[in-house]
Amino acid sequence: MIRRLLARFRPAAPTAPAAASPIHASPRYVGLRDAVLDGWFSSDTGELLKGFKISADDTLLDVGCGEGVATLFAVRQGASVIFTDSEHDKVRDLARQVAAQSTQANLGLVSNSLPLPLTDGCASKVVCMEVLEHIDQPEPFMAELVRMGRPGAQFLFSVPAPVGEQLQKGIAPASYYQSPNHVQIFTPERFAALVEDAGLVIEHRQANGFFWVMGMIFFWAGERAAGRAPEGAVRDRIQEPFTPLMESWARTWQDLLDQPDGLAIKQMLDGLMPKSQVIIARKPLAGGDAP
Q: Set out the domains of the chain in order of their start, with CATH numbers.
A: 22-282 (3.40.50.150)
Residue 235 pLDDT greater than 50, yes or no: no
Q: For residues 15 and 89, what is the distance between their CA atoms, to the nearest angstrom?
A: 36
Q: What is the pLDDT of residue 105?
A: 93
Q: For residues 48 and 7, what is the distance between their CA atoms, to the nearest angstrom?
A: 15
Residue 92 pLDDT greater than 90, yes or no: yes
Give the confidence band of 223 by pLDDT, cuts at 50, 70, 90: confident
Residue among 115, 104, 108 nearest 87 (CA):
108
Question: 27-37 vs 244-257: helix axis angle to the nearest 10?
Answer: 30
Stated pTM of the model? 0.88
Which whole number is the average pLDDT over 74-99?
Answer: 96
- Phi first, then psi, for residue 143 (nearest 5°) are -60, -40
Residue 23 or 108, more confident: 108
CA angle 185, 186, 187 (to 5 degrees): 120
Which whole number is the average pLDDT over 169-180?
Answer: 85
CA angle 280, 281, 285 (to 5 degrees): 150
Contact indicator for 162, 185 with CB cutoff of 8 Å: yes
Amino acid in position 285: L
Give the rounded percent of residues in the chain with a pLDDT score beyond 90. Answer: 70
- Average pLDDT value for the chain: 87
Residue 119 pLDDT greater than 90, yes or no: yes
> Which residues have C-beta within 8 Å of that of residue 4, sequence separation ≥ 6?
none
Find the largest Cα–Cα distance for the chain: 58
Neighbouring C-beta atoms of residue 238, cutoff 10 Å = 17
163 conformational bin, left if phi > 0, alpha if psi -120 to 50, beta if neither: alpha
Q: What is the pLDDT of residue 17?
A: 37
Contact indicator for 157, 129 with CB cutoff of 8 Å: yes
Q: What is the pLDDT of residue 8?
A: 33
Q: For residues 249 and 34, what is the distance between their CA atoms, to the nearest angstrom?
A: 13
pLDDT per residue over 133-159, tens digit each?
999 999 999 999 999 999 999 999 999
Neighbouring C-beta atoms of residue 239, cutoff 10 Å = 10
Give the confidence band of 82 by pLDDT, cuts at 50, 70, 90: very high
Q: What is the pLDDT of residue 45?
A: 97
Which whole number is the average pLDDT over 55-64?
Answer: 97
Q: Mean pLDDT lowest for which of 4-8, 217-221, 237-241?
A: 4-8
Compute CA distances 262 → 33, 70, 266, whole Å.
13, 27, 6
